[in-house]
Amino acid sequence: MKAIVDCNNFYCSCERLFKPHLDKKPVVVLSNNDGCIISRSDEAKKLGVEMAGPYFKAKPLIEKYGVSVFSSNYNLYGDLSWRVMETLRIMLGEKNVEVYSVDECFLDLDIFPLEDLPAIAMQIRKTVERWTGIKVSVGVAPTKVLAKLANRLSKKDKQKTGCVLVLDTEEKIIEALRKTAVDDIWGVGYQYAQKLKEQWCIYDALQLRNVSEEFAKTHLGGVVGARLIRELKGITANEMEDELVSKKMIATTRMFGSPVGDIASIKEAVATYTSRAAEKLRRQHGAAKVISVFVVSKEENHNVNFNRGITHSNHITLPAATSFTNELIKPAVTLVDTLFEKGKLYKKAGVMLSGIVPDNSIQGNLFLAETKNCERKLMDMIDNVNFSQRDDVLKFAASGTTRNWKMQQNHISDRYTSRWDELFEVH
């Protein structure tokens, strides 16, 4: 049996944890640059605040009902996510926990007798809430897809289920499938759902389960579709996976606080993003061979391509793979010269590192001074200082000092769990 633990309205829950007066009050969290709504409490949903909708459109409704608004605080969310996942690892063992996203993880519950699963699932929910303060929902079923389905239903009727639902019999599974619209099945996107409904009159998960695997291969994405049908039938097709420790590509991208029109500011931003990406690269003991930079221009006519803008990108293949920030900043800043057009405004930039290899596979250069071959020690020192002191205490001059291009965070809360000067105070 598989389970999924899902943190309820996770970003809102993190904000409420240190502001208990907001419990049962409407709360929303905004995306980067305070652009869109990416998390809503149940109370905000009932008021009609739309998910992923632009903040400026929802602002009249938010102000009318006194909805509390927060900018994304990823330092806080990341730390609380780690605490939730670590709690589950302590309870079940690391090999039985697969972190799926910042607020979800799958569990392998085959180590427990079937009849004990309802009590085990409830104990998991209560322990996570007691140890971390974050409320979660737990769905248990024979496969990952059915567990996701159970989790969703557990949240729809919280009073009845207590946010825990175990599908341990065929009768329960069939009833759950019948209650789930085809649009709400994990792995069925909007276009496939519309196609299933309009062309084959398949409206719920039970109807979809009854199609053949050959039908799924033809009309639902090949092998992926066939696996989905097997999972709906209770046959495991998606096994537990180990955490991805080494990434094949590392990216750092951000929206600017306001449109930027001067090349110096864009270079500062790209240098800063390169530094962040290089730090992530060193954390996995890797070195990159290729660096790519992109910028996104601001549309003059907001009615055309409003959400996206035009992306301009370029890349450089380095002479040798490296993880040294200074060796990555120089080509990144050079790429900005090839992308920037005077007179245009830009709203976003990003850096991507690829062609990643283990850094212990890189040979030193016999023709360089010994100090040049020991720059990894300097990078480690910078990383350690920045990790302990935070806020980029040590940075390269190319990253700038004023950083007027930084994204807006007008409603940011304190980083209660990861900054000494912002620790939560109890009086």
Could you tell me where the DSSP H helices lie in 168-222?
Answer: 170-179, 190-200, 205-209, 213-219
In the block, residue with structure tokens 């039908």: 215
From residue 379, give the alpha-carbon distance in Å to each of 55, 249, 254, 311, 350. 39, 20, 23, 32, 22
Q: What is the pLDDT of residues 339-381, one digit of tens each?
A: 999 989 999 999 999 999 998 877 666 666 666 666 778 888 8
Q: What is the pLDDT of residues 132-154, one digit of tens each?
A: 999 999 999 999 999 999 999 99
In degrees, rounded to 5, the angle at the alpha carbon of residue 419 between the alpha carbons of residues 415 and 423 is 75
Non-local CB neighbours of 240 within 8 Å, separated by 6+ positions: 2, 96, 98, 106, 108
The residue type found at 215 is: F
Which architecture, in CATH terms, is 180-243? Orthogonal Bundle (1.10)
Terminal CA-CA length for the chain: 45
Phi, psi at residue 361, to the nearest 5°?
-95, -5
Assigned token pair, 295: 């910028």
Assigned token pair, 392: 């980029």
The proportion of the chain whose per-residue pLDDT surpasses 70, expressed as a percent, equals 93
CATH 1.10.150.20 placement within the chain: 180-243
CB 291 within 8 A of CB 360: no
Sign of CA dihedral 415, 281, 329, 265: negative
Q: What is the pLDDT of residues 227-277, one digit of tens each?
A: 999 999 999 988 877 666 678 899 999 888 888 999 999 999 999 999 999
Q: What share of the chain is helix, strand, coil (3-state, %, to 5)?
A: 45, 20, 35
In degrees, rounded to 5, the angle at the alpha carbon of residue 404 between the alpha carbons of residues 398 and 410 is 135
In degrees, rounded to 5, the angle at the alpha carbon of residue 379 between the alpha carbons of residues 373 and 384 is 145
CB 352 within 8 A of CB 270: no
What pLDDT is attached to residue 247?
83
CB 145 within 8 A of CB 171: no
Question: Burial of 264 by CB count in 10 Å (0-12 exposed, 13-18 middle, 19+ buried)?
Answer: exposed
Q: Sorting pLDDT into bands at 50, 70 and 90, what band is 305?
A: very low
- Smallest Cα–Cα separation from 6: which of 173, 178, 142, 124? 124
In the block, residue with structure tokens 């290089």: 278
Sign of CA dihedral 165, 170, 176, 180: positive
- Smallest Cα–Cα separation from 277: which of 265, 294, 256, 259? 294
CATH class given for the domain over 1-169:
alpha beta
Mean pLDDT is lowest, of 34-43, 98-107, 298-307, for: 298-307
What pLDDT is attached to residue 138?
97
CB 103 within 8 A of CB 6: yes
- Smallest Cα–Cα separation from 39: which of 85, 65, 73? 73
- Smallest Cα–Cα separation from 70: which of 30, 103, 99? 30
**DSSP label of 150:** H
How many CB atoms sit inside 10 A of residue 148's CB? 24
**DSSP label of 343:** T
What pLDDT is attached to residue 367?
65
Assigned token pair, 301: 């006519």
Q: What is the pLDDT of residues 330-346, one digit of tens each?
A: 999 999 999 999 989 99
What is the per-residue DSSP string for 110-143?
TTS-GGGHHHHHHHHHHHHHHHH---EEEEEESS
Q: What is the pLDDT of residues 147-201, one digit of tens each?
A: 999 999 999 888 889 999 999 999 999 999 999 999 999 989 899 999 999 999 9
* Mean pLDDT in residue range 15-39: 93
Helix (H, G, I), strand (E, B) or coil at 350: strand
Average pLDDT over all residues of the chain: 90
Assigned token pair, 213: 């695997």
CATH 3.30.1490.100 placement within the chain: 250-399
CATH class given for the domain over 250-399:
alpha beta
* Mean pLDDT in residue range 397-411: 83
What pLDDT is attached to residue 366?
65
Mean pLDDT is lowest, of 2-11, 280-289, 365-374, 417-426, for: 365-374
